[in-house]
Structure 1
Amino acid sequence: MNKIQKRNFLLYVIGRMVSLVGSGIQMVAMPLFILDLTGSGTKMGLFAMISMIPALIIAPFAGVLGDRYNRKNIMVSMDYVRGIIILFLAYMTYIGKINLIVLFITQVLISILDSFFGAATSAMLPDLVSKSDLMKANSVTESISSASMIMGPVLGGVIYGLFGMQWVFILNGISFILSAFSEMFIKYRKTSTLTAEINAKIIFNDLKESMSYIFNNYVLKNLILMAIFLNLLFNPMFAVLFPYTFREVIGFSPQQYGLLEMMWTLGILVGNILLAVFFSKRESKKLFRNGIYGMVFLNLLIAVVLIPRFLSKFNSIWSIFLVVGALLMLMGITNAFINTPISVYFQRIIPNENRSKIFSALGVIFQAATPLGMLVIGMIVDRVEVHWIFLAISLLIILDVIVFSKKIEQMDFTPSLETK
């Protein structure tokens, strides 16, 4: 990287770090807050679903805008607006007017803003560094993000447990505003030659081109087919089943649950450090394959640990925490070996002028089934013992990977190693 690239990349990373600390605080506290308000897994699942659906609907349009407007300006604007909305939630909590309806409405707004922010920032990183530095830049970005999300969940559990939801909202709102301020100093100019003109025909044609590009690429097509089913199970497990199980069933305190969330992100941090230092030149397909097999196996081990017969062997909640936390950390390492090579592959093969819209389309397709999974698992946890749900999810995930194992071997990630 040259001097300007280093400066821009540093500001980009600092902005992400600050906002992710705040998001990590709220990410842990919000499901605990909803559980304390309602005691209902169904309502927690409904909230998680509402958090995703608007983003999925808006994402393709956000991608079209991200290719036609200045990505830095979109990023900064979205951070400021999200910060203001979350500070509004802090005020509503302070005056005692916070309720599920207010949370649902504001979450819809934040979800929409997240789409515009995500489409711009995911496509912006390759404009800030050279192609030869992308793997290292992604590993550093993910490592910094993971470090932020390590601090966030720990602070979230502590702050929620000691000071309540008002201070969670205050700190998250301030983090978004500080992030926007940092990002304002990035020296960036619009690199896409597409015009800013937007109409229904342009949006439709761009979406059509994105889908055609994705499904004509063998690797993208098979990654999507595998990921749709995996995300139907994995994402709801972490967003709904984990907080319900460890807070309501096992009885973790907010602080303990925050520490448990930290172990996952600590694993992702370690995994990305390993990628940046030792594996940045390794074949992406091998990294991906080992990551996916390892994560599936570790997920099954967590399900086995939660079977009552095994759970009764532990003599304290802290012993449960140590075992599950260690497994989650290892899962986080394998997750880094999956996501970072995929991100680099996408960034290197997708042309700049189409990057935002195709990234957005990929995000929508990858996550399309997740809201349904969140609602269904939320309803099930109120009716079925959680260890059976964990086992069923683990076995279904193993089945999905077995079905796609041959296609994984046939995937060609070599374009992700090109530097031209």
Structure 2
Amino acid sequence: MNSLPSEEHKKMRLNIFSQLVLSKNFFALYMGQTLSSLGSSISFTIFPIIVYQITKSTAQMGLMMALSILPNVIMLPFSGVLVDKLNKVKIMLVVDFIRFSLLIFLSLMAFSGSLTMVHLCVFMFIFGLIGSIFQPAYSSVRAKVFTKEIRNAANSLTQISQRATRLIGPILGGVIITSLSPGWGLGIDAITYLISICFLFKLRSITFNSSITNKIKLNWKQDFIEGIDVLRQNSWLWITILACSFFNICSSGIGRILIPWLIIEHHHFEPVVYGMILSSSSAGAIACGVIYGMKQQLYKRGILAYLGVALSGIAVLVTPFVSNILLFMFLMFLNGAGVMLFALIWETSLQEMVPEDKFGRVSSLDFFGSFSLMPLGYIMTGWLSTNVGEINTTIILSISILLIAIAVLWNKGVRQYS
């Protein structure tokens, strides 16, 4: 941490990008992961096109996506135990090297015209498997690097960059596959992981506390229960993870199925408008992230977090009845801002409240709650849309989000979290 006069330091806090200067560790982590996230956005835009070119089948695309999610559902409850035992930075280095190697292989297969669905399915399964280890490790490293002085700004800047890569990556992916070939896109993604490895090397000196490092043999059951105990001790943590599981059931189908239907089929907006409306959600998230990052301290964060969830539910609830493009964009802006507010407060609270030696286990349980029920959300949304119609499904799911947020706020521990 650089030594700065208090007034200068205070001014720099108002600019969230100043955190790149204030912390060398944050700079290395941020740059590496932002670039690799951009590469992933490019390649995951290209994968569906490759699948359709090879098979002409949406079912095969569904199979490939299932293979990427399945390992997360199976491994995440237990991967945190492994993460808490090993050095988190080394885990990230190994995983990024495997990703680099796999993408180079796929790129070469694509250039030679030998790429098959078998290659893609194996790749997606391995990617999902190592991702279930990478995510808890990355969360643990963030908790270590995002010190109290930079925590709000660092979380905001990280979330903003992830949103930005999701906007820019698909555009670049489309340009690359149109102007060049899929092999170039996969190769560019591989290079971003190689760059990430170079940045991660700068973090090798970071040391982590661990309650299970010195054990000769892992006691999976005991170590897993220790992660559960951390959640039990704080109602804010376990209630929010449980609530998020239900939020994801509702929101996954809304975002992937209902909003596109509303824009294209219900309101009959042009494709260019479809892109503008979806981008409005990211714009709202980015705006919220910038404001959050300039705040050194927020009060009543439990209430603010669930007000953000409620805001997103209300915004979606109104969308079927709005035919004005600008108003629809404004609603999606509010939706993105509300979701981002919740995500930032949740990430910050984990970093503040979870002990370092148990962070991997708690974050793996958090990711499990996020991933495991998403397929159920898609299935439920499809079933409801078929039986009661898309408009009624949108209303039902958005009201469910709103009611869950209100119900959670009845808990005293949530309301008093600040």
Pick one of 220, 231, 234 that aligns with 1:203: 220
Contact conserved, 1:157 with 1:258, CA < 8 A, in 2? Answer: no
Name which of structure 1's ranges 165-174 and 110-119 shifts more when overlaid on structure 2.
165-174
Partner of 2:80: 63
Q: Which amino acid aligns with 1:349?
A: M
Pick one of 313, 317, 326 that aligns with 1:300: 317
Residues 28 and 284 from structure 1, CA distance in 2 versus in 1: closer, same or farther, beyond 3 angstroms?
A: farther
Partner of 2:343: 339
Pick one of 121, 128, 131 that aligns with 1:114: 131
Residues 272 and 403 from structure 1, CA distance in 2 versus in 1: closer, same or farther, beyond 3 angstroms?
A: closer
User: 1:141 and 1:166 mapped to 2: Cα distance?
Assistant: 29
Tell me, what secondary structure is at the counterpart of 1:22?
helix
User: 2:87 and 2:22 mapped to 1: Cα distance?
Assistant: 17
The CA RMSD over aligned residues, in Å, is 3.5
Taking the TM superposition and a 5 Å limit, the aligned residue runs for 1:261-300 are: 262-278=279-295, 280-300=297-317
User: 2:25 and 2:67 mapped to 1: Cα distance?
Assistant: 34
User: 1:278 and 1:206 mapped to 2: Cα distance?
Assistant: 36
Partner of 2:374: 370
Task: Normalising by structure 2, report the TM-score.
Answer: 0.82
Taking the TM superposition and a 5 Å limit, the aligned residue runs for 1:244-255 are: none
User: 1:239 and 1:99 mapped to 2: Cα distance?
Assistant: 27
User: 1:256 and 1:44 mapped to 2: Cα distance?
Assistant: 26
Q: Which amino acid aligns with 1:362?
A: D
Tell me, what secondary structure is at the counterpart of 1:184?
helix
1:116-139 CA-to-partner distances (Å, cap 9, x unmatched) read 111111011222242343222211
User: 1:10 and 1:269 mapped to 2: Cα distance?
Assistant: 19
Partner of 1:163: 180
Superposition deviation, residue 189 in structure 1: 2.8
Residues 330 and 251 from structure 1, CA distance in 2 versus in 1: closer, same or farther, beyond 3 angstroms?
A: closer
User: RCO greater where, 1 or 2, for CA within 8 Å and sep 6 or more?
Assistant: 1
User: 2:248 and 2:342 mapped to 1: Cα distance?
Assistant: 13
Q: Which amino acid aligns with 2:346?
A: I
Partner of 2:403: 402
Task: Normalising by structure 1, report the TM-score.
Answer: 0.81
Pick one of 353, 373, 380 that aligns with 1:349: 353
1:220-250 CA-to-partner distances (Å, cap 9, x unmatched) read 2322332212212323444566679889997
User: 2:278 and 2:55 mapped to 1: Cα distance?
Assistant: 22
Superposition deviation, residue 290 in structure 1: 2.5
Name which of structure 1's ranges 7-16 and 279-288 shifts more when overlaid on structure 2.
279-288
1:78-119 CA-to-partner distances (Å, cap 9, x unmatched) read 112112212222222222233433322210100111111111
Q: Which amino acid aligns with 1:372?
A: L
Taking the TM superposition and a 5 Å limit, the aligned residue runs for 1:13-32 are: 13-32=30-49
Contact conserved, 2:104 with 2:187, CA < 8 A, in 1? Answer: yes
Tell me, what secondary structure is at the counterpart of 2:23?
helix
Unaligned runs of 5+ in 1: none
Percent of residue pairs bearing the same amino acid type:
21
Contact conserved, 2:317 with 2:398, CA < 8 A, in 1? Answer: no
Residues 90 and 123 from structure 1, CA distance in 2 versus in 1: closer, same or farther, beyond 3 angstroms?
A: same
User: 1:400 and 1:112 mapped to 2: Cα distance?
Assistant: 30
Contact conserved, 1:78 with 1:113, CA < 8 A, in 2? Answer: yes
Unaligned runs of 5+ in 2: 4-20
Q: Which amino acid aligns with 2:359?
A: R
Contact conserved, 2:310 with 2:405, CA < 8 A, in 1? Answer: no
Partner of 1:50: 67
Contact conserved, 1:50 with 1:104, CA < 8 A, in 2? Answer: yes
Superposition deviation, residue 273 in structure 1: 0.5
User: 2:216 and 2:222 mapped to 1: Cα distance?
Assistant: 10
Pick one of 3, 10, 15 that aligns with 2:27: 10
Contact conserved, 1:267 with 1:331, CA < 8 A, in 2? Answer: yes
User: 2:390 and 2:217 mapped to 1: Cα distance?
Assistant: 43
* Residues 1:361 and 2:365 are matched in the alignment: yes
Superposition deviation, residue 45 in structure 1: 3.8
Q: Which amino acid aligns with 1:392?
A: T
Contact conserved, 2:65 with 2:124, CA < 8 A, in 1? Answer: no
Q: Which amino acid aligns with 1:93?
A: A
Superposition deviation, residue 27 in structure 1: 3.4
